[in-house]
């Protein structure tokens, strides 16, 4: 490590140039000793040209070199004016900090670690200020005249030494009356010249350093306006110097009169007295500012303000005091008052760029972003290298959602100061908002390279990686954050989210617990823990977490929504609806909450309200997934099949590959008996998903309804192949086989269904029907009993049990079964009809007629009931009334051969044999049976038509008949 000496810069014009050159290359420290000179005005301008910090002169053992950090940089100019008048003689001491030589290397990747040989002072150059030889010949090649090498510094020091020797010679010519004032100065200058010689040697041997890996050369000094100001100050100083020289010349002149000499003395005295009084006020004012700054730095903002007020009272033109007061007011969140102070500071010095910048910050904190931007623009116009103003302007634009413009501002800030980590960080945030996550990650990485302990940058980088589904890399970032700041609860929370996305729910819960332990009011962590528990099917525990999140933040709609989902899974639909309602109250545009509320209402069979919810979703988001589908389902359940189909069509238009929409459309078409169209829809669903067992099943049902039994069986077999436990498919396959009169095969299918689901009442019932068709009424009754045991309200089972009992001539028991069926369904016309039949079998014809009448009242088109009523009337010998009933039956159904036959019998009783014969012919055309042939033959026999009668007797005899003896006896009579 090399200790650089202090350099003393004195008051001659050439020396001012040297001072400027030295300040250009280093951060400096001003030390004050003894009495002031008129160079003060020059120093005030020099202060504006570089980032330097001023401290009183101390013993070498106490002196500290204070090198400004990025965060402190805005306060340097404040310190200058405060410290400027504290002591009497102003001398610039430039202290260069100690550092390893090997850190002063080029950073460009293509020629990294090349030795730095100088600095670029071109105001318009956007590249790094320091340069190596490669940089000089490439990126700085167009303005090499503005590039200064370190060797020039040595030349500047030589010029300074030469100027010092000249100034010493000049000063010795001044009268003894002023010589005592400078004796101490000479001693200090002589000491520091030695140090300059040492510094020159060190520079020649290339023992120079860098501050924070790069010296930020302030290019402001090259602006024309500031050069003019400096020249003006220099002219004023030279005028005073000329006056002193003239005074010396006049003193030495033998021609000077005593009056003229006295006049010169008076002028000098007046100048000194005026300057002394002004100087004392300025010094006193700056002391108060200095005290205020000290209080500000220990967070005593109100006390600091009182000091600034004292300073302003003494010197109302102290723009620094107004500026510092504004800074303290900002800390007290008194933004409007702060703005007033910055305005006063600007009124004193309209070119005070830091005041414009800070005023912008105050407006920013008042959410007046556009006004803030105007202030930042003022600051940038005054000082294009004010990286803070460009940075802050970017923040304001970001809050106006002008992310691209914000990025441009951050780029300007980074071009001025590439090591300004906050600008890189904020640029990353803006890119995040533009969903340019890869670019954002690069910016966060830049910030981290500058400051590896930048926890927020690590955190945001993790978030961006998570947005790219790079969960493991995100976890590594969150671990870095936690390593830097173990109490960073949001990092624990986000790490939990990354683990959650990797389906590591238990590990995620551990992270959420960490976050909650650090910050019990972290509602996000409680909410996310609930989500993890939900995915572990721990719905009640999840509900408790959502309750905690809602207790912390009652306006957190997502927690209400997720609680609703958990309650849905617990089948607590009413409670779930309340939660969805809460979420909707917070955010009326929350489409998912409306959707889930609709689903919960649908589960409660409150279909109309469910439809209203789905319509809200559609208003918010016409293409919301499955909303048209579920609205269709609700309409379907209201038997509004055509409206349901329209909804399914809209769902299919949005998502043609949504097999469930095709399937549900098929069901609706089925219910409209549009079986061919339904089959097409089921086919579409199957093409999308060949393993869609329900689609195969319902396609089989549609084919069954079209009497395409073999194709139906093939569909049921497909469904069973996909899902061998598909009990309904086994049951319906059995139904098809039953209709094909393959009763034994049907029973085997019903047995398969029952084996899968012992409580499948329909399978028991259908098995009973098949057994009944096999004339096994007792076995059938057992199956009906099993069905009834499962479902006591199974009216069809009661009815068919009654039929089986009636076939066993257990008419009374059968009547009881019919009564049970009627008790369940009073409109059960078949049960009323067959109860009438059972009563007729008991010769209770009058009671049976009442049952037939009820069946006819329920179903006026019930031809069998008219026929049965006619037969009861026949047995009561009310032949004409009976014939009226048969005629009604035939009018309803001309294919009712039983009605034709019974009408023929009744006509025989009325001796209307020709009419009877015609009725028997109609019956025989519909169904040939031995009894029909026999009865027609009897009618012909009675009409004396022997040959025709004989023919029908012989035809009847060919059919096996238990009336064979009767027929042979009738033939013997012919």
- Span 864-873, mean pLDDT? 96
Report whether pLDDT(226) > 80.
Answer: no
Give the C-alpha separation, 622 to 377, whole Å: 44
pLDDT of residue 53: 34
pLDDT of residue 199: 57
Give the C-alpha separation, 164 to 134, whole Å: 37
What is the pairing mode between strands 53-54 and 29-33? Answer: parallel
Beta-carbon neighbour count of residue 326 at 10 Å?
Answer: 27
Choose between 903 and 217: higher pLDDT.
903
Poorest-confidence range of 44-53, 694-703, 762-771?
44-53
Residue 791: exposure state from Cβ atoms within 10 A (0-12, 13-18, ≥19): middle
Q: Going by C-beta distance under 8 Å and a sequence separation of 6 or more, which residues neighbour residue 605?
A: 637
pLDDT of residue 574: 98
94 SS3 class: strand
Q: Which of the four pLDDT bands, split at 50, 70 and 90, describes residue 253?
A: very low
Q: Percentage of residues in the chain with pLDDT exceeding 70?
A: 70
Q: How far, in Å, are 263, 630, 718 from residue 662 at the CA level?
A: 113, 13, 18
Q: For 338-357, what is each residue's pLDDT tens digit? A: 999 999 999 999 999 999 99
Q: Which of the four pLDDT bands, split at 50, 70 and 90, describes residue 116?
A: confident
pLDDT of residue 169: 62
Q: Which of the four pLDDT bands, split at 50, 70 and 90, describes residue 149?
A: confident
Choose between 481 and 945: higher pLDDT.
481
Q: Percentage of residues in the chain with pLDDT exceeding 90?
A: 64
Report whether pLDDT(218) > 80.
Answer: no
Q: For 401-452, what is each residue's pLDDT tens digit? A: 999 999 999 999 999 999 999 999 999 999 999 999 999 999 999 999 999 9
Q: Is 423 in contact with 391 (CB distance < 8 Å)?
A: yes
- Span 63-71, mean pLDDT? 36
Report whether pLDDT(30) > 90.
Answer: no
- Span 594-608, mean pLDDT? 97
pLDDT of residue 150: 67
Q: How far, in Å, are 52, 223, 283, 859, 931 from residue 11 at the CA level?
A: 19, 23, 21, 124, 147
Sign of the Cα torsion 743, 745, 751, 753 reads negative
130 SS3 class: strand
- Span 225-243, mean pLDDT? 50
Q: Is 394 in contact with 409 (CB distance < 8 Å)?
A: yes
pLDDT of residue 666: 98
Report whether pLDDT(392) > 50.
Answer: yes
Choose between 149 and 410: higher pLDDT.
410
Q: For 469-528, what is each residue's pLDDT tens digit? A: 999 999 999 999 999 999 999 999 999 999 999 999 999 999 999 999 999 999 999 999
Q: Going by C-beta distance under 8 Å and a sequence separation of 6 or more, which residues neighbour residue 752?
A: 727, 730
Give the C-alpha separation, 384 to 389, whole Å: 9
Q: Is 832 in contact with 855 (CB distance < 8 Å)?
A: yes
pLDDT of residue 94: 33
Beta-carbon neighbour count of residue 445 at 10 Å?
Answer: 15
Q: Which of the four pLDDT bands, split at 50, 70 and 90, describes residue 923?
A: confident
Q: Is 746 in contact with 755 (CB distance < 8 Å)?
A: no
Give the C-alpha separation, 319 to 297, whole Å: 19
pLDDT of residue 468: 97
Poorest-confidence range of 252-266, 804-818, 872-886?
252-266
pLDDT of residue 193: 66
Report whether pLDDT(12) > 70.
Answer: no
pLDDT of residue 188: 58
**702's tokens:** 């549609």
Query: DSSP letters along 371-439, please?
Result: HHHHHHHHHHHH-TT-HHHHHHHHHHHHHTT-HHHHHHHHHHHHHH-TT-HHHHHHHHHHHHHTT-HHH
Q: Is 392 in contact with 361 (CB distance < 8 Å)?
A: yes
Give the C-alpha separation, 644 to 846, whole Å: 49
Render the burial of 195-211: b for 16+ CB within 10 Å, e for the rest: bbeebbebbeeeebbbb
pLDDT of residue 117: 77
Q: For 83-114, what is each residue's pLDDT tens digit? A: 444 433 333 333 333 333 344 567 655 566 67
- Span 763-786, mean pLDDT? 96
Beta-carbon neighbour count of residue 759 at 10 Å?
Answer: 12
Residue-averaged pLDDT of the chain: 81
Of the ranges 3-17, 118-132, 383-397, the best mean pLDDT one: 383-397
Q: For 880-890, what is each residue's pLDDT tens digit? A: 999 999 999 99
Report whether pLDDT(46) > 80.
Answer: no
Q: For 643-680, what is each residue's pLDDT tens digit? A: 999 999 999 999 999 999 999 999 999 999 999 999 99
Q: Is 933 in contact with 961 (CB distance < 8 Å)?
A: no
pLDDT of residue 119: 76
Give the C-alpha separation, 424 to 456, whole Å: 12
- Span 116-140, mean pLDDT? 74
Task: Give me the phi and psi of 37, to 5 degrees please.
Answer: -125, 175
Task: Give me the phi and psi of 149, to 5 degrees please.
Answer: -90, 160
- Span 539-545, mean pLDDT? 98
Which helix (H) or strand (E) segment holds residue 53: the answer is strand 53-54
Give the C-alpha separation, 394 to 422, whole Å: 11
The 3-class SS string of 180-217 reads HHHHHHHHHHHHHHHHHHHHHHHHHCCCCCCCCCCCCC
């Amino acid at each position: 490590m090399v200790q650089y000496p202090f350099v003393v810069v004195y008051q001659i014009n050439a020396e001012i140039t040297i001072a400027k050159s030295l300040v250009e290359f280093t951060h400096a420290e001003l030390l004050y000793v003894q009495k002031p000179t008129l160079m003060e005005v020059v120093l005030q301008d020099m202060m504006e040209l570089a980032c330097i910090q001023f401290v009183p002169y101390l013993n070498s053992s106490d002196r500290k070199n204070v090198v400004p950090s990025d965060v402190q940089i805005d306060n340097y100019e404040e310190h200058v004016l405060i410290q400027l008048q504290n002591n009497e003689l102003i001398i610039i001491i430039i202290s260069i900090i100690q550092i390893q030589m090997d850190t002063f290397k080029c950073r460009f990747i293509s020629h990294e670690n090349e030795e730095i040989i100088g600095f670029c002072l071109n105001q318009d150059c956007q590249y790094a200020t320091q340069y190596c030889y490669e940089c000089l010949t490439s990126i700085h090649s167009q303005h090499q005249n503005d590039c200064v090498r370190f060797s020039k510094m040595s030349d500047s020091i030589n010029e300074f030494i030469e100027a010092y020797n000249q100034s010493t010679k000049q000063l010795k010519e001044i009268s003894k009356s002023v010589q005592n004032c400078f004796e101490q100065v000479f001693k200090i200058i002589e000491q520091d010249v030695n140090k300059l010689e040492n510094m020159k040697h060190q520079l020649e041997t290339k023992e120079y350093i860098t501050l924070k890996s790069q010296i930020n050369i302030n290019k402001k000094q090259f602006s024309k306006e500031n050069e003019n100001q400096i020249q003006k100050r220099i002219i004023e100083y030279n005028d005073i110097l000329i006056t002193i020289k003239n005074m010396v010349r006049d003193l030495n002149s033998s021609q000077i009169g005593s009056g003229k000499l006295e006049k010169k003395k008076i002028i000098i005295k007046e100048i000194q007295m005026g300057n002394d009084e002004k100087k004392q006020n300025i010094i006193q004012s700056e002391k108060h500012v200095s005290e205020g700054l000290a209080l500000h730095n220990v967070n005593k903002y109100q006390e600091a303000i009182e000091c600034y007020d004292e300073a302003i009272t003494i010197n109302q033109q102290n723009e620094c005091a107004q500026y510092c007061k504004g800074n303290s007011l900002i800390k007290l969140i008194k933004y409007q008052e702060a703005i007033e102070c910055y305005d006063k500071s600007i009124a004193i010095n309209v070119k005070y760029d830091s005041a414009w910048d800070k005023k912008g910050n105050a407006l920013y904190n008042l959410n007046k972003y556009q006004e803030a931007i105007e202030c930042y623009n003022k600051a940038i116009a005054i000082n294009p290298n004010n990286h803070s103003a460009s940075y802050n302007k970017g923040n304001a634009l970001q809050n106006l959602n002008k992310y691209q413009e914000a990025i441009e501002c951050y780029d300007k800030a980074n071009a001025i100061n590439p090591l300004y980590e906050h600008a890189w960080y904020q640029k990353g945030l803006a890119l995040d908002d533009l969903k340019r996550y890869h670019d954002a990650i690069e910016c966060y990485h830049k910030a981290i390279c500058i400051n590896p302990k930048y926890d927020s940058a690590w955190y945001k980088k993790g978030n961006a990686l998570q947005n790219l589904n790079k969960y493991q890399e995100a976890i590594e970032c969150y671990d870095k954050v936690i390593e830097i700041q173990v109490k960073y609860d949001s990092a624990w929370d986000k790490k939990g989210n990354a683990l959650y996305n990797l389906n590591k729910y238990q590990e995620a819960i551990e992270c959420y617990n960490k976050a909650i332990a650090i910050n019990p009011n972290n509602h996000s962590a409680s909410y996310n823990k609930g989500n993890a528990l939900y995915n572990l099917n721990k719905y009640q525990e999840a509900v408790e977490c959502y309750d905690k999140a809602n207790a912390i933040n009652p306006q957190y709609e997502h927690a209400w929504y997720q609680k609703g989902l958990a309650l849905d899974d617990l089948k607590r639909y009413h409670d779930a609806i309340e939660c969805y309602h809460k979420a909707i109250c917070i955010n009326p545009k929350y489409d998912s909450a409306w959707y889930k509320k609709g689903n919960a209402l649908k589960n409660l069979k409150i279909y109309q309200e469910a439809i209203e919810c789905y319509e809200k979703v559609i208003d918010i988001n016409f293409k919301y997934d499955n909303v048209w589908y579920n609205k269709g389902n609700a309409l379907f359940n209201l038997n509004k099949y055509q409206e349901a189909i329209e909804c399914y069509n809209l769902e299919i238009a949005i998502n043609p590959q949504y097999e469930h929409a095709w399937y549900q459309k098929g069901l609706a078409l089925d219910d409209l008996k549009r079986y061919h169209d339904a089959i097409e829809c089921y086919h579409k669903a199957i093409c999308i998903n060949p393993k869609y067992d329900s689609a195969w099943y319902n396609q089989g049902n549609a084919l069954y309804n079209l009497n395409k039994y073999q194709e139906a069986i093939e569909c049921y077999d497909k469904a069973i192949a996909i899902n061998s436990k598909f009990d309904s498919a086994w049951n319906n396959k059995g139904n098809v086989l039953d209709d094909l009169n393959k009763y034994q095969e049907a029973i085997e299918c019903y047995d398969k269904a029952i084996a899968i689901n012992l409580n499948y009442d329909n399978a028991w019932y259908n098995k009973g029907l098949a057994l009944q068709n096999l004339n096994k009424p007792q076995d059938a009754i057992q199956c009906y009993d099993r069905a009834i045991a499962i479902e006591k309200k199974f009216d069809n089972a009661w009815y068919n049990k009654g039929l089986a009992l009636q076939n066993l001539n257990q008419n009374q028991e059968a009547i009881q079964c019919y009564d049970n069926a009627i008790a369940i369904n009073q409109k059960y016309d078949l049960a009323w009809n067959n109860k009438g039949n059972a009563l007729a079998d008991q010769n209770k014809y009058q009671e049976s007629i009442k049952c037939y009448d009820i069946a006819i009242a329920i179903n006026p088109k019930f031809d069998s009931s008219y026929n049965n009523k006619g037969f009861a009337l026949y047995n009561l010998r009310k032949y004409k009334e009976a014939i009226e009933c048969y005629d009604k039956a035939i009018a309803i159904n001309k294919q009712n051969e039983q009605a034709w036959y019974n009408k023929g019998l009744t006509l025989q009783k009325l001796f209307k044999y020709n009419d009877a014969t015609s009725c028997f012919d109609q019956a025989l055309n519909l169904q040939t049976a031995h009894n029909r042939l026999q009865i027609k033959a009897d009618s012909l026999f009675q009409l004396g038509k022997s040959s025709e009668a004989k023919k029908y007797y012989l035809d009847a005899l060919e059919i096996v008949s238990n009336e064979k003896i009767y027929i042979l006896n009738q033939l013997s009579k012919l």
